[in-house]
Amino acid sequence: MRHPVRALIISALVVGLAATGCDKNTGTTGTGNEPEKAQSDIVVDYKGETPTPAAPVEGATPGGKLTIMQEGDFEHLSPQQIYVSNALAYANLFHRQLTGYIEDAKGGPLKLVGDLATNAGETTDEGKTWKYTLRDGVKFEDGTPITSKDVAYGIAIAFSTYGVQGPQYLQAALDPQGTYKGPFDSKGAEIPGVTTPDDKTIVFTFDRPHAELPYLVSYPTATPIQESKFTKEKYETAFQSTGPYKIKEYKRDAYLDLEKNTNWDPKSDPIRNQYVDTVHFEFTVDGESETNRIIASQGDDAAAIMTGNVVPQKIAEVKADPEIMKRTLSAATPFVRYLYINTQRVTDVSVRQALNYAFDRDAYIKAIGGYDIAEPASTTLAPVVPGYKKFDEYPGAGGGTNGDVAKAQELIKGKTVPKLKFCFGNTPVNQTVMAVVQTGLARAGFTFSSAPIDPAAFYTTVGDKTTDCDLIAGGWAQDFPDGDATLGVLFDGTKIVDKGNNNLGYFNDPAITAKIGELRTLADRSAAAAQYGDLDQQIMKAAPVIPLRYDRFFSMHGTKVGGTFASPLWAQFNITGIYVKS
């Protein structure tokens, strides 16, 4: 999934000002957040044992108006186009899919359950065919019952122009050759691998096992669409709701008002509650005003949440006030940043390990904005990934966070390491931060040539197998909560192609690749999860990356908001049980 794109002119200025003003804080920031094990496990409800309606939230009161402040409109709300994290989080209010997640407010295991379907998916052949049966009582907002044909049509849309911006996993799995172009350009053609034997049943058939399918159909890719009601690009602002809320009024770039969807039946939904009467999205705010308004918490703003992080220049003010701190949410996110080491070029594993030892984590975190919005990383998996294991192969000297220069020097003793080409996206932030990274690494004697690359061309350039970059600054966020969605993408040697690589370390270790393939085919993902932590550690021993940081979510809500918590999946508020205190 992606971070939202935002206009950063003012923010960059303000951050610049704040950075100079914040110097005095840096002396006291030893208080790094413990990388918590937010989501160690995942439970996939293959059997359909999750009860409906969703468990009530303790102390919840019905009614009221919830305001959600977000800088700028959603890029997309047409279901098959949704891929950005905030849209994924808040689309839960109006889009339902075959499967969905139940996140636990207290940090318990994440559950993948049947949403429109009765369970997370049934397979009898280790993942080559999957069957889903729709629940009773699921309807569109106009009262029309949802059939499996509508789900299939939604998936067909995902293949069309109206799905190019969304995730492509399901499409790639169903049609590896990419011949099907959706219901318009491939009119009359069958959707490859999708059949609907009756109105309640949808069957997926693949040419090889796809154990991850239950995750893939949790994306709005698998949101049903009534063929007669699909209005192409107009569907972005006039979609049919299947969830607890529907559009009352949508003024693009200004606001989106939702009201209760009376054709949503709580008895058909194991995930969502419907406490508030109306939801008001406000798109004409920025980080500064969001923060100010939530701090003030006046009027409607008392029942508001902000989708951005607390702006850096306000963090000190927020932390100084215990009343406001009670309203903040601070949590790990799926976003991890790395410095990939191109293993085609830096072939000596001890050099790669030395780079890991030399990295100055503390200086880097301070440069990026402090421990409230990031924490040092030592693994490739984000703490929220099921199966995440906390380990540190390259601890700092004396247990500190400034790296271990002596160890690094020892590892490369007697070796001549050529000047390393250091590639990064040419953004104002990177220009300063990457210099800090280089300074840290240089302590062990490494030398660099900086290669800032136009951000738009960055992934095209470094994703080319023949790239001459030695070090590549990049990042990743899992697309679904499964170790394979990180390790299977970034470190699978079989996936290295000529162009468009995600394995930017070009890491091809036969043993690890084999292990990734083995874990990938395990049909029971709950069971598979536990093994990814060890695999992660095995990868880190080979050092194809320097993990730089885990991004953190640090946000606030108004005084009258209850029943919400930080969603580890989307780095947003979980709104499935949110209510307004009366």
Partner 1 sequence: MLRFAVRRVLLAVLTLFAISVAAFSLFFLGPADPAATMCGSKLCDPATHARITHDLGLDQPAINQYAAYMRGVFVGRTIGSGETAIDCPAPCLGVSFRTREPVTQILARAFPVTISIVLGAAVVYLVVGVGLGMLSAIRRGSFIDRTAVGFSLSFASMQIYFLGLLLAYLLVWKTGLLPRPQYISPTESITGWMGGMLLPWITLGLINSAIYARLARAQMLETLSEDFIRTARAKGLPIKRVYLKHAFRAAVTPLVTIAGLDLGTQLGGVVITETTFTMQGAGRTAVLAVFQQNLPIIMATVLLAAVIIVMMNVIVDMLYAVIDPRVRLS
Residues that bind partner 1 (CB under 8 A): 2, 5-10, 13-14, 71-72, 75-76, 83, 160-162, 164-165, 167-169, 172, 178, 184-185, 187, 232-233, 236, 251-254, 283-286, 288-289, 292-293, 296, 298, 454, 456-457, 459-460, 463, 474-476, 479, 489, 497, 499-500, 502
Q: Which of these, 368, 433, 440, lies nearest to 405 by C-alpha position?
A: 440
Q: How far is the CB of 300 from partner 1 (least distance, A)?
A: 11
Choice between 292 and 538, CB closer to partner 1: 292
- Between residues 50 and 78, which has the closer beta carbon with respect to partner 1? 78
Question: What are residue 112's DSSP bridge partners?
Answer: 44, 101
Please tell me the total number of residues recorded for the chain in this structure: 582
Question: Hey, which bits of 344-428 come out as E strands?
Answer: 374-376, 420-425
Smallest distance, Å, CB 460 to partner 1? 5
> Shortest approach of partner 1 to residue 497 CB, angstroms?
7
* 450 and 460 Cβ atoms separated by less than 8 Å: no
Q: How far apart are CA 383 and CA 37, in angstroms?
A: 6
Residue closer to partner 1 (CB basis): 8 or 203:
8
Distance of closest approach, residue 298 Cβ to partner 1, in angstroms: 8
Inter-residue contact 245 to 279 (CB < 8 Å)? yes
Closest to partner 1 by CB, 6 vs 208, is 6
Identify which of 375, 361, 322, 336 has the alpha carbon closest to the alpha carbon of residue 31.
Answer: 375
Residue 395 CB neighbour total at 10 angstroms = 15
Minimum CB–partner distance for residue 429 and partner 1 (Å): 14
The single-letter code of the amino acid at 409 is Q
Ramachandran angles phi, psi of 549, nearest 5°: -160, 160
Looking at residue 241, the DSSP 8-state letter turns out to be P
Cα 129 from chain centroid (whole Å)? 27
113-118-120 Cα angle (round to 5): 35
Residue 398 beta carbon to partner 1: minimum distance, rounded to whole angstroms: 36
Nearest-approach distance from CB 180 to partner 1, in angstroms:
12
d(CA 191, CA 174): 9
Closer to partner 1 by Cβ: residue 183 or 562: 183
Minimum distance from CB of 338 to partner 1 (Å)?
A: 12
For the bound state, the minimum distance from the C-beta of residue 18 to partner 1, rounded and expressed in Å, comes to 12
Are 166 and 177 spatial neighbours (Cβ–Cβ below 8 Å)? no
Question: Smaller CB distance to partner 1: residue 9 or 320?
Answer: 9
Minimum CB separation from partner 1 for residue 70, in Å? Answer: 11
Tell which residue, 432, 442, 449, has the closest CA to residue 364.
432
Tokens representing 154 are 């939604």
Closest CA to 353 of 545, 513, 533, 535: 545
**Cα(242)–Cα(232) distance, integer angstroms:** 18
- Residue with Cβ nearer partner 1 (122 or 236): 236
Tokens of 66: 């919830």
- Show Cβ contacts of residue 473 under 8 Å, excluding neighbours closer than 6 positions: 337, 338, 339, 340, 422, 423, 424, 425, 430, 434, 437, 548
The residue among 10 and 325 lying less far from partner 1, judged by its C-beta, is 10
End-to-end CA distance of the chain: 36
Question: Whose Cβ is closer to partner 1: residue 250's or residue 531's?
Answer: 250
CB of 476 to partner 1, least distance (A): 8
Token representation of residue 157: 């849309």
- Smallest distance from the beta carbon of 189 to partner 1, in angstroms? 13
- What is the distance, to the nearest Å, from the Cα of residue 308 to the centroid of all Cα atoms in its chain? 15
* Cβ within 8 Å of residue 520, ≥6 positions away: 211, 212, 484, 488
Instruction: Rank residues 178 and 418 by Cβ distance to partner 1 and give the closer one.
Output: 178
Please, what is the angle between helix 312-320 and helix 287-296, to 10°?
10
Contact predicate 65/255, CB 8 Å: no
Q: Which is nearer to partner 1, 226 or 538 (CB)?
A: 226
Task: Find the shortest distance in angstroms from Cβ 161 to partner 1.
Answer: 5
**Alpha-carbon distance 278 to 79, whole Å?**
21
Nearest to partner 1 of 283, 554 (CB atom) = 283
Q: State the nearest-atom distance from the C-beta of 424 to partner 1, in Å.
A: 13
Rounded to the nearest angstrom, the gap between the alpha carbon of residue 59 and the centroid of all alpha carbons in its chain is 30
* Opening angle at CA 458, ends 504 and 367, nearest 5: 85
Between residues 284 and 432, which has the closer beta carbon with respect to partner 1?
284
Q: Which of 184, 391 has the CB closer to partner 1? A: 184
